[in-house]
Structure 1
Amino acid sequence: MSTETLGSLTLALLLLIAGATVFGQLAAMLRQPKVVGEIAAGILLGPSLLGLLAPDAMARIFGDGAQDPSTVVLGFLYHLGLLLLMFVSGSSARNILGKQDWRPAAWLLGVGTPLPFFLALAVAPLLPLADFMGAAGSEPAVILVFAIATAVTSIPVISKIFYDLGILHTRFAGLVLGVAVVEDIVLWGVLALATAIASATVAAGAGAVAETVAVHVAANVLYVLVAMTVMPPLLRRLGRARCNIVARHTPIAWIVVVVLGYVSVAAALDVTLAFAALLAGFGIAGGVKGTEQERFRIPLAAIENVSAAVFIPIYFAVVGFRLDFTKGFAPLMVITFLLGSSAAALLSTGLAARLAGFRRLDIVNLAVTRNARGGPGIVLASVAFDAGIINARFFTTLVVTAVLTSQTCGAWLDFVLRKGWPLLSGAGVEEPDKPSVSARHWG
């Protein structure tokens, strides 16, 4: 790498990190999720603005073509930010469903999640799927992504919204986050199936798709089962073993080794890497009971701090950078998907909340909050776009929908609290507990 290239790459990182930080803070000051500002910074630096005003300067700074060293390095940092985002998500959400919430959680998971998913599956074949399809040319994969995007709920963004509003400790937050954790694990499994179908379509041709997909699905199912049942207790033993000098003396290095191990095995098995990072966080925290969270509190906090300050903002800024509103923006597609998917999610959650015994304002609060697509919606769009499942126009549609639904969630909950209304009847709004590191930084 020449000095000139290194200098351009350094400037690109400076602009992405500084821009994402500044605009993220501005968004927070305006009571918006930080992710909105971080994506906006990328949009300003990308083809939507800088590329229009000074295309040569943008090409020199951020790279020109897939083989350009700057493009390659920024691509790596983009994926690293995604992996860290998913890892911290998996490691932070533990013990958040109280016993009193098992019944409503069961209704939300049994009705609120599958209903919009299956509604989208039913509607998708009636749509012009060619307008959504990417280079992989796989219609079944597009349909699955369409359904996931309709049903997904954001863990990172709603965690940040809850913290900013001082309600992270409440029953309402515990119920929503607990349901979102289980829901996202299932939906990420479906995304793994979609990427398997897409890769099989490209590599094997239509005749061999079924066999190839069966192998991919089996590998993904086996990976998930092992990661959720065998690995947490195994990692707990390995982390406490006297012979493990890495965990004893440099626990941060041990955590990084675990994450890289999960991702490396996932790559060998063709499992979605972002999903592997989520499961790595689940495993390192001790599984369902989260028994290792306190033990690794300091090293996890250090990783979260650096990730939230540098790598995750880079990821969201690059997401914004890749949005080309001059070519990949279809207003009618955005409006139709935003309204249609929101209606399905709101009505499904409303029905589930009603069956769970909630009434009136409780139902509205749960429905609006669970409609926030946030980080997972953007991650879904990124993974599907990188896999060639969807095209640039649908990628832009998913990202814009994720941002707008998250903004709506934050604005509504802020309005409810300023009115002094309860989020859940009888739950109230108490003084907040000390927030987690991840909750302080994610947007």
Structure 2
Amino acid sequence: MLASTSLHADDFSLQLRSIPADPFSKTPGTREVRNETWPASKTAVIVCDVWDLHHCRNAVRRLEEFGPRLNAVLIEARKRGATIIHSPSDCMPAYTDHPARLRAIAAPRSADLPKDIAAWCSRIPAEEQAHYPIDQSDGGEDDDPAEHAQWAARLKSLGRNPGMPWQRQSDMIAIDPERDFLSDKGDEVWNILQSRGIDHVILTGVHTNMCVLGRPFGLRQMARNGKHVVLMRDMTDCMYNPQRWPYVDHFTGCDLIIAHVERFVCPTVTSDQILGGQPFRSKSDKRTEADVIHLSEAKTDGDHWRPISLPAERKFSGPAWYRATIRVPQRWLTGSGLAVVLPAAGVKVWWNGASLEAESKGEIVRYQIPAEALTVDDANLLVLRVEGGHLAEAPVLQSGDRQFNLSGRWQFRQGDDSSWSNMPLPAKFGTPTDIVFEPQR
């Protein structure tokens, strides 16, 4: 094992908040809180994607507000003897020679690396029947359009890519070169945890509904691989635009995501349980009611994507749109390529935004997926536009002699808008857990 140094080893007295899960109920139950004591020497705090810049101006503002307190949490946790792992994804080139980066690389390779620990995780079994609480398929940006354009121009003037402007972790978060670790790789993070005998993990950072949940070192991977993991719910944010379903303010949208985490993934804690005082609350959060679990009057009809099961029994007057996410395993790729097969014509098909050409063979219509449009071992967005509205049979994914029937939950929308054929961000960020298909590997 790596040597574990501890200045003032101390336990963490935590109040873990959760919601007993009944995945078949649309309405969550009552929250429960249990007290646990975590040895600091067996606890890690993972700081997820607290980047120096972001494409959403409001996201930067919210991070700047809670960032100093997050740094204070890390200082206190470090002082007690916890392991601090900084994970600003896509930014490792900035830390090539940093001692914390070298320390992460040097961690002994674990003999029990979990399957797919290096991959993004879109869903764990507990979420399979869950109803995801928000629509984040527009990327979740809640900037004023004019200000967003100004912000993008400023990022470009700084030599940054306005869509992915991050280059390193924010300077608000100090990295101790003598003790901390730097990694955005799931296998490296797992090696660190195992080599130090760490059973308990606290996740902080941004954004809960995307990176904090899905990254290879995120909540889902930690939960499904047996770590006692919690989300520090006041030291995080989410990407949610109030102009999207369920049409609530940003902070209520965050509450709904936190309730989803507490119900299906892991418990949550707050920063005061380490620092004392009160939990952090944004000065922009003017609500009289916080910690919302569910909406008693959520909008279910109208102009937004909503759940539907395929094959569809109900008939619609078209046009109608359907979408789902598919994780395609590497072993599915053969010389014949990958195709979407439908039993009838009159359907337009897009794969990750690329329009697919129809090849009719009798009553069967085959849509070949170009290799350049395919994301292997990751989420792919499949969108169908049905002129007549009704889709009586589900599509089939075909590769050589392998077939996977895509019957199950999709999202559905009536109307006609060409922008619905794709999303602003990759499918793994934009789609919810309840429309994910995963062919067996």
Q: Which has the higher strand share?
A: 2
TM-score (norm 1): 0.21
Q: Which has the higher helix share?
A: 1
TM-score (norm 2): 0.21
